[in-house]
Amino acid sequence: MRALKFLILSVGCAATLNSYAAQVAVHVEPVNLQGPRPLEDQSKAAVVRDYIRAWQSFDAALGQNRPELLDADFVGTARDKLSDTIQQQAKLGIRSQYQDRSHDLQILFYSPDGMSIELTDKVEYDVQVIDHDKVITTQRETARYLVVLTPAEVRWKVRVFQSVPE
């Protein structure tokens, strides 16, 4: 039953994404939208796929202090804030890696104009802090994220990426 409950993400074309996604358990709760606009299954799948992919970019960008790795999946406030964090890390000689282990997603809001989707994600992840190549700590954390995505040319991009207390 538990195995059924968890959907191992198998969407995406790139081999790297597939191998990455195979390590991450993704469970999507039934949609319970506020708002008048129905969410098509295809849009739902695309949003989940693009959000999970964004975690991969997020991990790589903060782990390597390379803000340009955010560009494909983040936009607006979320991109600006993560980019600022990378600058702070680089200045201090710090890197941080965020390896997601599981996601429990629920789509909350699809704006009437179809230009934004908000979801919540109870995510479990390992965070490792490295100061000048010395591992300071590795911790497993659980947090609830509020995420707003907006459509871009070929995918949904994360515009708000913020954890809130459970």
Partner 1 sequence: MKSRSSLLLAILAVAAIHLAFAQGERMTLPKVVEAGSAFSIQSVGSGKAELYIIGPGQVLKRDVQLGEMTSFATGSLYNAGHYLAVLAGGSFTETGSFDVLAASKPANLSFLAKPSRLPVGLHDGITGAVYIFDGYHNLIATPTPVSFELSTSSGAMQKHAAVSSNGAAWTAMDSTSEQGADHFVARIGDVSSTRIVAQVPGDPCELTISARQVGEKVQLTTAPVRDCHGNAIPDGTVVTFTESYSGAQSTIDAPLKHGIAEVTMPVRAGATFSVASGVVMGNQIGWNK
Binding site for partner 1 (CB under 8 A): 34-36, 58, 62, 77, 81-82, 84-85, 88-89, 92, 94, 96, 98, 108-109, 111-113, 115-116, 118, 120, 127, 129, 131, 136-137, 139, 141, 143, 146, 148, 160-165
Q: Coil, helix or strand for 50?
A: helix
The least CB distance from residue 13 to partner 1, in Å, is 27
Are 89 and 96 in contact, with CB atoms under 8 Å apart?
A: yes
The least CB distance from residue 21 to partner 1, in Å, is 20
Paired with 34 in beta bridges are: 109
156: number of Cβ within 10 Å: 24
The least CB distance from residue 10 to partner 1, in Å, is 27
Distance CA 20, CA 119 (A): 21
Q: 30 vs 165, which CB is nearer to partner 1?
A: 165
Q: 32 vs 42, which CB is nearer to partner 1?
A: 32
Q: 9 vs 107, which CB is nearer to partner 1?
A: 107
Q: Coil, helix or strand for 37?
A: coil
The least CB distance from residue 27 to partner 1, in Å, is 19
Distance CA 72, CA 155 (A): 9
Distance CA 75, CA 81 (A): 10
Q: 4 vs 164, which CB is nearer to partner 1?
A: 164
